[in-house]
A and B are shown apart, each in its own frame.
Chain A
Amino acid sequence: MRPPTRARRHSCAARRAAGALVLLLAALGRAGPVLAATLVIHVQTPDGHALSGAVVTVRPLEGQGKRPAPVHAVMDQVNRAFAPDLLVVPVGSTVAFPNSDSVSHQIYSFSAAKRFQLPLYHGKPYPPVQFDQTGVITLGCNIHDEMLAYLLVTDAPYFGRTDAQGAWSADVVRGRYQVTIWHPRLRDSQADLERELTVGDADRAELTLHLLKSLQPAPIADRPHSWDY
């Protein structure tokens, strides 16, 4: 924040010269640490296939980094399933849990990061729930045991989910970072999937993470809801 304040005292010509110098340095790939580079994370299964839907969180190792702004998210209940069945939100965010089904649901979490219950309801009778602690929150319905969803609450400045090609990217400030991977069906321990990485001079930094263990099989998709499971 300081250099621009000081710069205001310089003459117009000096400011122009400084600007030209920054542009020149940037062009040479030697810009200062405040400028962004593209970070690309690839996640692969042990047999080398792209893993889509994995949650990537990136935290700076030096300093706090900017905290992500809280958001207002929605996790609906449609056809006796949560939609979506995984949300990643910044810490402090609120999530609404409307019920679009004709049957009642009764949402609960017994996860340490947030314990709560929404007694029997249709529609949207409850105010959104606020999530003030980081962590993974497992959600269920006390009436329909097969309903399952996850909420990952994070304080990382950069986060997202891998695309169909198993990749996630973001423009990040140059520096040293810790990269973490999470997936609802992950069998690896979290520590095995943490990496440190320096985003240095280049415009683009890439990291490929391989799971060590294969994922749990996906839940059986087309089983009728009326069956006991």
Chain B
Amino acid sequence: MPSLLHIQRPRRQRWATLTLLALVATGRAADWQMSLDTRLVTSDAGRSFMDGGLGTSRFDRNDSGVQLGRARLALSAPLGELWSVHLDASVWDDKDRSPLGVTEAYLQFRPYPRAGYRLRVKAGAFYPPISLENRAAGWESPYTLSYSAINTWLGVEVRTIGLEAQLDWLGTRTGHDFDLGLTAGAFGWNEGAGVVLAGNGFMLHDRQTPVFGRVGPPGAGVLPFQQFDGRTGVYAGVEGRYLDRVVLRVLRYDNRADPTKMDTVSGAIAWDTRFNSAGLRVESGTGWTAILQWLDGETSIAPPGLQLAWPFRAQFALLSKRFGRQTLSARYDRFEVDSNVDGGSQRGHAWTAAWLFDADAHWRLALEWLRVRSSSYDRADTGGPPLATETQLQLAVRYAFGSGL
């Protein structure tokens, strides 16, 4: 694995530098934003996944104290009239391959809507349209610090590195109550999607894996974004909207990986992952938001002589109320990973409660309590009791500045 990393790294850095230079060269037309999010943490959780442990939260019992939540730089710039380029880079201060990682970088083609239809095409690395929770800048949640189990997993292992087209019928612009959208994506570098779910199970945190980044410590970590089976993954989804109040999304994802393929250099196996997801978000004019998301799928590998599968499913319900500049939210998560492998399964639920205060356009204060109760046979494997209740309390202060603020 290390040899592969060292070959790829300089080329990737050069590419990132060129992108940055191109963005800077576009000059005043670019919109940019920077933010620094620091945390005061207390946690009794088991060893964090970034340290190679099976803890379900981001920070473990050794992380209590002051931590970096995220330092972020985002740029977007028009390229002519209908194209634009977007870049989101972050520092998470943990054991990833590079201290600065790019979570999203893409080109977008946005022709003008015609006759009530709108087309959008994206090319690059970005999130597929699944989460109804991660709607704020930087794919963050405006409700809680830690994302739901479903969206945490998407942030860790799922990214479209490829193309996506979205066609919307803009009913609300033509006198109707509804809009309808169709999305289809094709992507590569997805053979690792599923490896963290099978190894760690579901978690609840806000640590997004940078594109081509590593999950876990050097030597023991895994690489979700790899390409060696020559197959293209696909997804297709439908979105319906009622005015600006209700969003319903359904999406089918299949990375079409060949589970018998193995990377001869890194020794990594291709994880064949497919899932269905559905989500509903309802907002009222009085500040209430309710979000439901559902995920059901399976990941499998088939090294010579073996056929290993991990079916997984998760759901959450979030209820939030905005009072002026304050937001109070509560979420209940349920998740499960089964396995036909001894000791590969996980089952659990979590409660999250958060208070967010947007003092002004720059400062945000947040307090979050997270309790995860889960049983994991992998935990028993490493000598601990399978059942664990982990609690994490975070106080976050974020300062953001930029051209749009």
Contact = CB atoms under 8 A, between A and B. Distances in A.
Given A216-B177, A227-B142, A104 B244 contact: no
B137 A103 contact: no
Q: Classify the interface of chain B: helix, strand, loop or mixed.
A: loop
B283 interface: yes
B37 to A, nearest CB: 15
Interface residues of B, number: 28
Given A102-B403, A143-B110, A138 B173 contact: yes
Interface stretch (A44-52, A83-91, A218-226): A218-226
B244 A220 contact: yes
B113 A102 contact: no
B285 A217 contact: yes
A222 B243 contact: no
A130 interface: no
Interface residues of A, number: 29
Given A217-B243, A224-B142, A227-B135, A138 B78 contact: no
Contacts of B142: 224, 227
A132 interface: no
B9 interface: no
Contact of A110 (B29, B116, B245, B403): B116
A140 B142 CA distance: 25
Interface string A199-229: 0000000000000000011111111101111
B29 A220 contact: no
Q: Dominant SS at the A interface? A: loop
B112 interface: yes
B180 to A, nearest CB: 14
A106 B136 CA distance: 22
A151 to B, nearest CB: 13
Interface string B86-130: 000000000000000000000000101111100000000000000
Contact of A120 (B78, B114, B283): B78
A103 B404 contact: yes
A117 interface: yes
Given A108-B113, A220-B245, A224-B142, 12 more contacts: A102-B403, A110-B115, A110-B116, A117-B112, A119-B81, A187-B177, A217-B285, A219-B243, A220-B244, A220-B285, A224-B136, A226-B136
5 contacts: A102-B404, A140-B113, A142-B112, A187-B177, A220-B285
